Amino acid sequence: MPFKPASQVATRSNDGNFGRVEAIDLKTRQVVWSERQRAPIASSLLASAGGLVFSGARDRHFRAYDAATGKVLWLREYGCNIVAKIDYHSLTLETKEGKKRVCWNSEIAPHNFEGFFLNMGDMLVKAGDWETARKIYGDAKLSSTYSQWQYRQVLEDRIRDAQDNVAAFNAPADATNRGDKRITVSTAFSCMACHRQ
């Protein structure tokens, strides 16, 4: 193919949006949905078993999309660009050997995976997105050590009470919202959710 100057290359859109996340049906090769944004995507994408797709962009936003529709379900701004490369093959196999990855269970955090999704779900509930939180909470159950996790009932209660916990997690700390009616980082078990045997 001959080289063409950038000025002669047709662009899909000149609307000022440089970022795009698309879902493609691999059987039909058709675009199922497309979500455009101003900033380019700066990370690999990660799809969860709970029907979510995560991405980071140069506009400092971390987004969660509904995998079926492409709707942005959750958006969080951070103080830096969200740039990450995901090693997809390493995500398919849990291992105790080799290079360690964020959220893998380890000797010092035997339930890091479960605790991560408990904490992330709580943050979504506090932000008012209890429906997405239920999906995120559900991902904690995918851990091979879930059946040994001492906080299984806390997670089940969080799933059941997600909508009601929006108000509880946003209420000022006082005698009425102690214990498990507070966001994980404010509870007595915050560190133990990941680190307790």
Q: Total structural domains in the chain? A: 2
* Measured distance CA(84)–CA(56) in Å, rounded: 8
> What whole-number distance in Å separates Cα of residue 46 and Cα of residue 51?
11
pTM as predicted: 0.55
Task: List the domain range (segments joined by +) for residue 51.
Answer: 19-85
The CA-based diameter of the chain, rounded to the nearest angstrom, is: 72
User: 168 and 105, same structural domain?
Assistant: yes
In a domain? residue 195: yes
Q: Who's near 162: CB < 8 A, 6+ residues apart? A: 121, 125, 130, 131, 133, 134, 137
Kindly give the confidence (pLDDT) of every residue in the chain, 197 residues in length, as a single tens digit, with 9 standing for 90 and above: 343 343 333 345 567 777 888 888 888 889 999 888 887 777 667 777 677 788 877 777 778 888 899 998 877 776 555 555 444 444 444 545 555 444 566 677 788 788 888 888 888 888 888 988 898 898 888 888 899 999 999 999 999 999 999 998 888 766 555 555 788 877 878 788 877 87
Residues 190 and 140 both lie in one domain: yes
